[in-house]
Amino acid sequence: MREAFAGLQEELLRGLSALDGKSFVRDAWVKPPGGALEGGGVTCVLEGGGVFERGGVALSDVKGAALPPAATQRNPHLSGRSYRAMGVSLVVHPTNPNVPTAHLNVRSFRTDDGAAWWFGGGFDLTPYFYEPDDEAHWRRVSRQLCASDAMYERLSADCDAYFTLKHRNERRGLGGLFFDDLNEAHPFGGGFEHCFAFTLSVGRAFLEAYAPIVERRRAQPYTEADRAWQAYRRGRYVEFNLVWDRGTLFGLQSGGRTESILMSMPPHASWQYGPPVTDARQRRLVERLTVSPTAGA
């Protein structure tokens, strides 16, 4: 399984480097035996590229003495069990505000006692300006990965629900696909090999979903005001990752490698009091991402 995840990492690195024109710097790391977490991985980072202000593609393969709260909140019966977790995560933050930020994560978990295994992951798109054509393409690729309309509707709805800043009643972005606890008990799951194959297919489809959007928007002109708006919206990205993201919380709670966990953060972000919506393009994005406080009540 590690070989397949490592192959996916290499595929993503080649594709993103081709888009950007700059290579990633590789940082292999190891957690020594004897601590709460052991294992290692390879974190690959690109900064100051032709397209990406920061990009990261990380492979991790770790063993822990006990699953942390971020993993057992939904499955309290697994509390205290030792485990192995493995996966690939990716985040790219473009310089041009017309190019969306994008995120991918695919992962596997297995308890050492054999009591449980599951897969999780997905990808989502976080634009700074709303472009319906970009969303349509992103969703078209997402739908093609799913075996049925019902499966797509479930994983798309789960993505919208997960990537929501509940303290703001606002989605982080336009969504995509999200799944967790994918195993034989999941409505759209199955056996181990079936779930693993679907997980890898999501990872491999990321470039098909994202690269055409980058090519379409990368040369679009922008202003310093657009960059200021981008930094403001990136603040929302930081808020979600530090407050709500289970992957970030899992890494920090389990004693993971902080530098690799926080590679997902944008290089520049800002906060200011009150919403600084000053033009129609900004307003369209905010309207598209706003969630009714009563939705789902």
Three-class DSSP labels, 45-79 = EEECCCCEEEEEEEEEEEEECCCCHHHHCCCHHHC
pLDDT at 293: 65
248: tokens are 């970030």
pLDDT at position 80 is: 77
Whether the CA torsion 44, 228, 122, 65 is positive or negative: it is positive
d(CA 171, CA 126): 9
CB 209 within 8 A of CB 123: yes
For the record, the structure tokens of 171 come out as 């989605």
Q: Say which residue the tokens 């075996």 belong to.
A: 147
pLDDT of residue 33: 81
pLDDT of residue 297: 39
pTM (predicted TM-score): 0.92
Q: How far is CA 25 from CA 13, 56, 250, in A?
A: 10, 9, 25
Q: What's the pLDDT score for residue 294?
A: 56
Catalytic residues: 103
Identify any residues that bridge with 101 across adjacent strands, giving them in sequence order: 126
Helix (H) or strand (E) holding 26: strand 25-31
* Superfamily the domain 2-289 falls into: Coproporphyrinogen III oxidase, aerobic (3.40.1500.10)
Residue 66 pLDDT: 81
Count of C-beta atoms within a 10 Å radius of residue 103: 25
Please report, for the chain, the start and end positions of each structural domain, with discontinuous segments joined by +: 2-289
Q: What is the dihedral of CA 86, 88, 89, 93, to 10 degrees?
A: 160
Q: Which helix (H) or strand (E) holds 29?
A: strand 25-31
Q: Which amino acid belongs to residue 5?
A: F
Q: Which residues lie below 8 Å from residue 275, measured CB to CB, with a gap of 6+? A: 286
| Low-confidence stretches of the chain (pLDDT beneath 50) | 295-297
